[in-house]
Structure 1
Amino acid sequence: MSIQIAFPRFLRIGGGTIDDIGDVIRQLGLQRPVVVTDKFLTSTGASERILTLLREARITPALFDDTVPDPTTDSLETGLALLADHNADSVIGFGGGSPMDTAKALAVLGVRGGRMRDYKVPHVYTGPALPVVAIPTTAGSGSEATQFTIISDSVTDEKMLCPGLSFLPIAAIVDFELTMSMPPRLTADTGVDALTHAIEAYVSRKANPVSDGLALAAMRTIGQNLRTAYEDGENKQAREAMMLAATQAGMAFSNASVALVHGMSRPIGAHFHVAHGLSNAMLLSAITAFSVKGAESRYADCARAIGVATEATGDGIAAQSLVDSLAELCHDLAVPTPRDHGIDRTRWNDLIPLMAQQALDSGSPGNNPVVPTVDEIAELYVEVYD
């Protein structure tokens, strides 16, 4: 069995490691990074903190803070101009999944050019790109350790999955203290996002022994800490555990891929502008119930890792416990249905054929234990609405 594993060259993990950013950039031999972030982090002073740390290390940074939630092809244009004007030799993605996805896209387009559509699946890009250093501020996307970026086409609203080693950050700083101010809703959504990454990596048809270990470790940690982080955002132990688990889950799915939940989640985000973690949460229980028959023992392992079954529990009962526990978790975290989130039923139903086809075309459903037809995906969209 031959498997290919790819991680960032190195990570610095722990409270206060954000202060190491200047040293990290110098260690990589870089001098002119563009810090890619959003207006919120600029408004809090966090962006200026990064810039100051870089300048103190005799680095010459520039700031791009025009990233948007669920970044689009149009949102990249100003950033590309700044890369050229600054003569940038690197990109620092600072924020949640959207700034990091933007940073990865800019790193590739800034060197290779073309359209983002040129890089979407089934294409896998391994060519020239600026080095990316990732600094996550949420415990969820795992983007600091993945060889993917997701950008929405501004013309078609298609949420494009763009894979390849050139999108993998060269280094990451994983500082849980940056997540201490996350509100409960964001804590819940990003936490379920990380859990989804871990479960889908473990049951993926591309799973391997390396991704399995990381996925199971992430699930154990999330099972023990997500509710605590949601209920008590000042609990440092829970915040630190969730941050590490999100990175482990990112490493897992980067090397095993995701499956049907993510395939169906992306069109919801693209057409209804639902945050990625939340759209995953809306789908997780129903898609798991649909998929269990294809890998019962694997889902049973997930149940044991999360802590809702024991080694003595039979696989069938354990797998059903997982489905039930995911529904209970989402209830406890106040995850809304698409209806409760305010999505219009008629528009949802009208878009189901397109969303089902886009989900299938993304490639992720092909990794699922039960590979669905486009009609089965459409039926699942009908089911999860209520």
Structure 2
Amino acid sequence: MQELIVPGNAYAGLDAYLEQHQITRLFLVCGNSIAQFPLWDHLTALEQRRNIRIFRFSDFHPNPDLSSVQLGAAQYIARACSGIAAVGGGSAIDVAKCIWREIGTPDTPLLAIPTTAGSGSEATSFAVIYKNGVKQSVGNCLPNAAMLDPTLLRTLPLYQRKATLLDALCHGIESCWSMHTTPESRAYSVRAIRQVLEHAEGYLTNQDAGNAGMLQAANLAGKAIHIAKTTAAHAMCYRLTTLFGIAHGHAAALCLSALFPELLRHSLPEQTSAALREIAAAMDCPNGTTAAQKFASFLQALHLPGLSREIPITPKVLAASVDPDRLANTPIPLGTTDLCRLYEQILHA
């Protein structure tokens, strides 16, 4: 089971983790923005205070490439490090996970410290890396520990807050109705949905309590998709992200807004019907139809930028980009005609 570290006063929780795992040479995977956080000051003082050397690795980009992973693994080995920590969003954490897999020592401590509240990457056992421009999914790389530090969210821009909030909410909803849902994952899903909605206002206005609550919600949603995985809304969103230059959570929410009422038009198995009742209750709605409407209204109220009408793309081309294997987790069948109809709604919303 993953250890969840409470930062504590002066990062006492982090120090205790490093001591417990006897980490004396820490390989730190992070972006350049880390320098603006108090956490960086704490990390750079570790050598003087606790004789723990820090080796920083920032040679990666969004949508990181396999070559960055291989370089990081080589540096980890060359510097005889004894543990890995990732501080950042999904890219930094995914790179650290893949480096951990690459070095091939499962007992190596791997600590994930997210600086966004959406992906829940710190709580999942999979990562995304690119090889020759093609996305590769990597599994079996769950960090042994995660630290949720709300002070790391204080500098997030408003659009990023909106998009990450939506990503966590989509994770909660999709994992709940997923074909691979379990009682454990549904419990995480329902708690995540409730907490996202409860802390949305505080998170969007950059209040410490809101930031802390959204971090916890994203972590719960991450635990849910770790078990149940996502469904068609996520499978459909990737091409929208790259084509229109919008954030992942924004794209996922556009897809889920079209998918939710589509789901309700079908005759559903009892497991899915029960999940929809739980989703509705978590959203404080009497039924799934009202919950779908509330989700659409919530998305609209965020006033996100619309999709550009100047990009020449058709629903058929978008439908062809969806990996059919990623649709198998969705509780309704979705063929090309169905995907085209959903994309038509999304493009003209």
TM-score, structure 2 as length reference = 0.88
Question: 8 Å contact 2:169–2:192 — kept in the other structure?
Answer: yes
Match of 1:103 in 2: 96
Q: Is the contact between residue 205 and residue 367 of structure 1 (CA under 8 Å) also seen in structure 2?
A: yes
Q: Which residue of structure 2 aligns with residue 155 of structure 1?
A: 133
The partner residue of 1:52 within 45, 49, 59 is: 45
Q: What code does the residue aligned with 2:304 have?
A: V
- Give a deviation string over 1:15-46, Cα, whole Å, max 9, x none: 65745323212212333221111122246675
Match of 2:279 in 1: 302
Partner of 1:71 in structure 2?
Answer: 64
Q: Which amino acid aligns with 1:355?
A: S
Cα RMSD (Å)? 2.5
Contact 1:110/1:129 (CA < 8 Å) preserved in 2? Answer: no
Aligned twin of 2:326: 364
Q: Which AA in structure 1 matches 2:335?
A: T
- Aligned residue runs from structure 1 range 227-266, under 5 A: 227-230=201-204, 232-233=205-206, 235-266=207-238
* CA distance, structure 1, for counterparts of residue 146 and residue 99 of structure 2: 17
Moved more, 243-252 or 43-52: 43-52
The aligned counterpart of 2:312 is 346
Deviations 1:96-132, CA, capped at 9 Å, x for gaps? 11111111011112338xxxxxxxxxxxxxxx47431
Question: Of the candidates 112, 116, 121, which is equivalent to residue 143 of structure 1?
Answer: 121
Q: Map 1:184-333 onto structure 2 (within 5 A).
A: 184-230=158-204, 232-233=205-206, 235-269=207-241, 274-292=246-264, 293=266, 294=268, 295-307=272-284, 309=285, 313=286, 318-333=287-302
What TM-score, normalized by structure 1, do the two folds share? 0.80
Residues 152/208 of structure 1: CA separation in 2 closer, same or farther (3 Å cut): same
Name the amino acid aligned to 1:384.
I
Runs (4+) of structure 1 exceeding 6 A deviation are none
- 1:136 partner letter: P
Say how many residue pairs are matched.
343
Check the 8 A contact 1:206/1:257 in 2, yes or no: yes
Map 1:19-98 → 2, pairs under 5 A: 19-42=12-35, 46-53=39-46, 56-98=49-91
Check conservation: 2:25, 2:54, Cα contact below 8 A.
yes
The superposition leaves residues 151-204 of structure 1 with CA deviations (integer Å, 9 ceiling, x where unpaired) of 233333xx333222xx10011111222212222111111111111111111111
Using the TM superposition, give the Cα deviation of residue 48 of structure 1 relative to its aligned residue in structure 2, in angstroms. Answer: 4.8
Q: Cα distance, 1:350 vs. partner?
A: 7.7
CA shift at 1:86, angstroms?
1.6
Partners of 1:272 and 1:74 lie apart in 2 by 26
1:373 aligns with 2:335: yes
2:68 and 2:313 map into 1 onto residues whose CA distance is 25
Encode CA deviations 1:203-231: one digit per residue, 9 max, x unaligned: 1111111111111111111112213321x
User: Per-residue deviation at 1:335?
Assistant: 2.7
More deviation in 368-377 or 212-221? 368-377
In structure 2, the residue corresponding to 1:345 is in which secondary structure?
A: coil
| Partner-residue secondary structure (3-state), 1:152 | strand
Aligned-partner Cα distance in 2 for 1:107–1:271: 31
Distance 1:30 1:107 in 2: 15
Contact 2:315 2:341 in 1 (8 A): no
More divergent stretch after superposition (270-279 vs 96-105)? 270-279
SS at match of 1:338: coil
Counterpart Cα distance in 2 of 1:368 and 1:151:
24
- Secondary structure of the corresponding residue to residue 29 of structure 1: coil
Among all aligned residue pairs of Structure 1 and Structure 2, give the percentage whose two residues are the same amino acid: 24
* Structure 1 residues 44 and 237: alpha-carbon distance in aligned structure 2, compared to 1, 3 A threshold: closer
Choose 177-186 or 49-58, whichever is displaced more: 49-58
Unmatched tracts of structure 2, length 5 or more: none
